[in-house]
């Protein structure tokens, strides 16, 4: 077991500048090789209790590598929290605050405000990064009010949603991040309904509507894209928001070795586009040279297997139509040709 004792508070060397609702220009860096990336210090230790094949440990490690060691995290109640903070041990090599579902953004806002006050008084010399990790339940739903307040007030915090499309920690109940027609325990597939009959909340554009400097959508398989987006997020003079696709093998019904493949299919089928919104300007980060059929993404997951039955063709077409509409809208927003 490589889980470590809970660490003491530390500090970092990030620029401390007033919040001016913009993204700082950061020096262009040489693209990291996979070996260089792997050799970087990981501030999230192995030996935690997450399920085999889970996506969020990879997300947390990548984001923390971009943040650096001198970072303070708040973690909302959820899969990540319960598997990484089993008292008296912790997988976190940085200071980590466990918050409730609903108040992780408020918790980190208080910590960041106290830090800025102490910095102004000269009682703290070091510079710190602040980050929140929360699932879609603690982001789209229970934590939305707290998140909105944090974004509105302009705290220099990066909020990371590891989006696995339901309340997975408590047994796969529907959230407003659950995809259309997905089977969950609260939207079971039966004769009357065919899974979740509502489309996902557009959390990325909701965050962007707060006029914050940086918002992005990423996926666990593309570590280079996620790493660069995390670096931009931490360099922002104000709040930043990252929504990251995070497969859940347990409740999606996928093999434990398919997280990366599922993530690739989500992006290549346009189900989960990779894009960023920097100071209000949209940019598409990846455009498949050949779009993968949506069925290739769906058939790998038991939560969607009913969509491939002939009698449920209309539900499949409803989802396909929505995916295509959202992709076309994104292309226009990014000034990309179809």
Q: pTM score, two decimals?
A: 0.90
- Predicted pLDDT of residue 89: 87
| Cα atoms found within 13 Å of the Cα of residue 338, Cβ hemisphere only | 7
Q: DSSP per residue over 321-338, as a string?
A: HHHHHHHHHHHHHTT---
Q: Where are the beta strands (DSSP E) in 28-120?
A: 71-76, 89-90, 96-99
* Per-residue confidence in pLDDT tens, the chain, 338 aa: 444 443 333 333 333 333 344 444 443 445 788 889 988 988 999 889 999 999 999 999 999 999 999 999 999 999 999 999 988 889 999 999 999 999 999 999 999 999 999 999 999 989 999 999 999 999 999 999 999 999 999 999 999 999 999 999 999 999 999 999 999 999 999 999 999 999 999 999 999 999 999 999 999 999 999 999 999 999 999 999 999 999 999 999 999 999 999 999 999 999 999 999 999 999 999 999 999 999 999 999 999 999 999 999 999 999 999 999 999 999 999 999 75
In eight-state DSSP terms, residue 306 is G
| CA distance linking residue 7 with residue 23, whole number of Å | 31
Residue 338: per-residue pLDDT: 58
Give pLDDT, residue 297.
97
Report pLDDT for 33: 87
CA distance to 4, 255, 258, 259, 266, per residue, from 301 (Å):
34, 9, 10, 11, 11
User: What crossing angle do the helices spanning 56-67 and 223-235 adopt, rounded to 10°?
Assistant: 50
The CB density around residue 19, as the number of other CB atoms within 10 Å, is 15
Angle between the 144-153 and 104-120 helix axes, to the nearest 10 degrees?
30
For the chain, domains (ranges, CATH) are 4-333 (3.40.50.970)
């Amino acid at each position: 077991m490589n889980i470590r004792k809970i660490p003491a508070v530390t500090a970092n060397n990030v620029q401390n500048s007033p919040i001016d609702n913009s993204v700082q220009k950061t020096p262009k860096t040489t693209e990291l090789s996979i070996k260089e990336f792997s050799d970087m210090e990981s501030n999230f230790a192995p030996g935690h209790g997450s399920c085999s094949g889970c996506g969020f440990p990879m997300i947390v490690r990548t984001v923390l590598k971009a943040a650096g060691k001198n970072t303070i995290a708040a973690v909302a109640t959820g899969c990540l929290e319960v598997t990484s903070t089993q008292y008296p041990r912790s997988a976190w090599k940085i200071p980590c605050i466990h918050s409730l579902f609903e108040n992780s953004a408020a918790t980190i806002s208080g910590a960041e405000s106290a830090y800025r006050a102490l910095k102004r008084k000269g009682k703290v010399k070091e510079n710190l990064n602040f980050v929140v990790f929360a699932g879609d339940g603690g982001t789209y739903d229970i934590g939305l009010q707290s998140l909105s307040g944090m974004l509105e007030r302009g705290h220099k915090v990066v909020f990371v949603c590891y989006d696995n499309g339901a309340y997975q920690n408590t047994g796969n109940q529907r959230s407003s991040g659950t995809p259309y027609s997905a089977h969950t325990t609260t939207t079971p597939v039966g004769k009357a309904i065919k899974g979740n009959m509502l489309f996902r909340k557009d959390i990325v554009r909701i965050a962007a509507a707060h006029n914050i400097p940086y918002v992005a959508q990423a996926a666990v398989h593309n570590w280079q894209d996620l790493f660069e987006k995390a670096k931009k997020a931490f360099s922002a003079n104000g709040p930043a928001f990252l929504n990251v696709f995070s497969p859940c093998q347990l409740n999606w019904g996928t093999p434990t070795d398919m997280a990366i493949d599922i993530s690739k299919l989500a992006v290549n089928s346009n189900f989960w586009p990779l894009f960023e919104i920097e100071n209000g300007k949209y940019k598409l980060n990846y455009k498949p040279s050949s779009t993968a059929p949506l069925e290739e993404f769906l058939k790998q997951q038991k939560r969607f297997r009913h969509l491939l039955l002939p009698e449920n063709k209309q539900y499949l077409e409803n989802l396909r139509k929505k995916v295509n509409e959202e992709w076309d809208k994104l292309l226009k927003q990014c000034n990309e040709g179809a």
